[in-house]
Amino acid sequence: NAGVTQTPKFQVLKTGQSMTLQCAQDMNHEYMSWYRQDPGMGLRLIHYSVGAGITDQGEVPNGYNVSRSTTEDFPLRLLSAAPSQTSVYFCASSPKIPYEQYFGPGTRLTVT
């Protein structure tokens, strides 16, 4: 089991560029989510999915899109990157809510 994998590990974007952060899990988990971690703010939920084809917004969804076409993958799209989106992004999965969550290694994103 690879668990939860995220790519890339590091990324630098210019303001206005778009990109997709990839997240995949091989544990057949129904629930997947995206968080961002910022100094002094802790982890905040961006979007989540309770199964293929079902997504919903978390605490800080603006500027981000998600889709869940398969159980394994849950990509996060930045539509038009802004410096305020500089952060570390974590993907997590869980068999279902509210079971134990498993986190990926994170993507460190810098927007200049």
Partner 1 sequence: KQEVTQIPAALSVPEGENLVLNCSFTDSAIYNLQWFRQDPGKGLTSLLLIQSSQREQTSGRLNASLDKSSGRSTLYIAASQPGDSATYLCAVYTGANSKLTFGKGITLSVRP
Q: Which residues bind to partner 1, rule: CB under 8 A?
A: 4, 31, 33, 40-43, 45, 48, 50, 56, 58-59, 90, 92, 97-98, 100-106
Q: How far is the CB of 48 from partner 1 (least distance, A)?
A: 6
Q: How far is the CB of 103 from partner 1 (least distance, A)?
A: 4
Residue 47's identity, in one-letter code, is: H
> Between 14 and 42, whose beta carbon lies closer to partner 1?
42
Q: How far is the CB of 27 from partner 1 (least distance, A)?
A: 13
Q: Across-strand partners of 51?
A: 54
> Between 56 and 80, whose beta carbon lies closer to partner 1?
56
Query: Rounded distance, CA 47 to CA 64, Å?
Result: 8
Buried b (16+ CB within 10 A) or exposed e, 56-81: eebebbeebebebeebbebbbebeeb
> Between 41 and 79, whose beta carbon lies closer to partner 1?
41
Q: Find the radius of gyration of the CA atoms of the chain.
A: 13
